[in-house]
């Protein structure tokens, strides 16, 4: 009896040690992950002189909040912000308008070429725009969209089709088609069945796809850098580099402006984190 007690005690101590170790490791990882963000915030609040001084500081000696308002005066930040919103919003809308019907067909109908289409969707996911930039540039020239926000919307929507269709198809397949079938028998056509019955039930999956496409388009850099030459047409990701000159980098402004670009999406991302992972992996399993 005493023996089992002692071994139970030993096991308990071992568990406590493991537990403490787990906390320590997780806290260290979190601190490490947050370090770049900590640096960003502190630097955004410093003066230029403090950043470049020989005696570097960790925290700002005195927080200069005006850096956050100065960037709006020094650069067309309001245009950048508006452009980012329009590009991300427009791309999301277009990606959904094309993606929802396609995902619906893939999950509710049987047709010739279905596998081929699905295969192309998967393969298209593999090609980042950067490899095709020269080709994209030629297409944009043909449409006179080289220096235009509309052009960026089309590109972002196209390159996010794969993910949107994949995620939406997975969501639709997980919902039983019985309700829609009942509705169609009652004389409701497919469009109505989709809008009134399926979409409300599929809302969580749709919101996830929506936010994910929005974030991707908001964070896109390479295509915008290549296609847009007029300063006031640039999105935030490209525009903020106005503070990142060849000879001199205005770190305090660059980071203050960067925070405007990253805070909204980090919040959105934390919000969908749970659904997103399920969508990324399960989409491939179902069906």
Partner 1 sequence: MKKKFKKVEPYIWILPSVLLMAVFILVPIVFVFRMALSDVSKAGLIKGFAGLENFRKVTSSSVFAMVLKNTLVWTVAVVGISTLLGFILAILLNNEFKGRKLARAVVVFPWATTLIVQASIWKFIIDTDYGTLNTLLMRLGIIDHAINWTPTAGAYFAWEIACGIFVTIPFVTFTVLSGLQSIDASYYEAAAVDGASYWQKMFQITIPLVRPNLTISTILNIIYVFNSFPIIWTITKGDPANRTDTLVTYLYKLAFYNGKQGQAAAVSVIGFLILLLCASLYMVSVLKKGDE
- Please state the closest distance from residue 265 (CB atom) to partner 1, in A: 5
Tell me the CA distances in angstroms from 158 to 94, 130, 134, 163, 270, one per residue in order: 9, 14, 16, 10, 25
Q: How far is the CB of 263 from partner 1 (least distance, A)?
A: 10
Contact between 107 and 176 under an 8 Å Cβ cutoff? The reply is: no
Q: Shortest distance, CB of residue 40 to partner 1, whole angstroms?
A: 6
CB of 180 to partner 1, least distance (A): 14
Query: CA-CA distance, 224 to 242, in Å (whole number)?
Result: 14
- Identity of the residue, 56 or 200, whose beta carbon is nearer to partner 1 in the bound complex: 56
CA 161, CA 99: separation in Å to the nearest integer? 6
Give the nearer residue to partner 1 in terms of CB position, either 62 or 135.
Answer: 135
DSSP letter for each residue of 136-176:
HHHHHHHTT-TT-HHHHHHHHHHHHHHHHHHHHHHHHHTS-
Whichever of 27 and 203 has its CB closer to partner 1, that residue is: 27
CB-based contacts of 194-200 (< 8 A; 24+ apart in sequence): 194/100, 194/101, 194/104, 198/104, 198/172, 199/100
């Amino acid at each position: 009896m005493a023996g089992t007690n002692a071994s139970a005690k030993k096991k308990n101590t071992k568990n406590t040690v493991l537990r403490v170790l787990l906390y320590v490791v997780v806290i260290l990882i979190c601190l490490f992950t947050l370090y770049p963000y900590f640096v960003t915030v502190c630097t955004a609040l410093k003066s230029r002189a403090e950043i470049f001084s020989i005696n570097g500081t960790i925290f700002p000696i005195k927080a200069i909040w005006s850096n956050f308002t100065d960037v709006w005066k020094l650069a067309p930040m309001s245009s950048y912000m508006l452009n980012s919103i329009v590009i991300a919003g427009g791309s999301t809308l277009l990606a959904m308008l094309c993606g929802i019907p396609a995902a619906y067909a893939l999950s509710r109908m049987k047709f010739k070429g279905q596998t081929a289409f699905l295969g192309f969707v998967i393969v298209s996911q593999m090609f980042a725009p950067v490899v095709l930039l020269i080709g994209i540039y030629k297409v944009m020239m043909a449409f006179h969209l080289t220096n235009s926000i509309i052009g960026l919307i089309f590109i972002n929507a196209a390159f996010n089709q794969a993910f949107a269709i994949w995620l939406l198809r997975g969501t639709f397949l997980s919902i039983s088609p019985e309700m829609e079938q009942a509705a169609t028998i009652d004389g409701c056509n497919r469009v109505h069945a989709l809008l009134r019955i399926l979409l409300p039930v599929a809302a969580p999956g749709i919101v996830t796809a929506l936010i994910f496409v929005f974030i991707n388009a908001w964070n896109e850099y390479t295509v915008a850098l290549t296609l847009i030459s007029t300063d006031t047409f640039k999105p935030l990701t490209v525009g903020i580099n106005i503070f990142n000159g060849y000879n001199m980098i205005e770190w305090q402004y660059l980071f203050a402006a960067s925070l405007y670009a990253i805070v909204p999406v980090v919040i959105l991302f934390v919000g969908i984190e749970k659904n997103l992972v399920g969508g990324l992996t399960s989409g491939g399993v179902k069906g």
